[in-house]
Amino acid sequence: MSDIIVKDSNGAQLNEGDSVTLIKDLKVKGTSETIKRGTLVKNIRLNGNAGEIECNTKQVKGLVLRTEFVKKA
């Protein structure tokens, strides 16, 4: 898993425990929640997929986000 490089929408490398900011309003599948643009998500986890990260927000726990919708904070 250490050989996979995860990058945000601007090309900055993401690491375990980084904080990211959403660049687009996202509807969460399976709920009626929408996470707004500009939301700060702290302490992300890498899941072995270069295009996805795992995180928790105040509204949704165990969320998987596509890296194309986040930028490093």
Supply the pLDDT for residue 38.
96
Domains in the chain with CATH codes: 20-72 (2.30.30.40)
pTM of the shown model: 0.86
pLDDT tens profile 13-67 = 999 999 999 999 999 999 899 999 999 999 999 999 999 999 999 889 999 999 9
Sheet containing 40-41: order of strands: 40-41, 20-22, 70-72
Q: Is pLDDT above 70 for 71?
A: yes
Report the distance separating Cα 24 and Cα 5, nearest Å. 23
Supply the pLDDT for residue 2.
61
Asked if 50 and 5 touch (Cβ cutoff 8 Å), the reply is: yes
Q: What is the DSSP letter of 43?
A: S
Query: Around Cβ 49, how many Cβ atoms within 10 Å?
Result: 14
Q: What is the DSSP letter of 46?
A: E
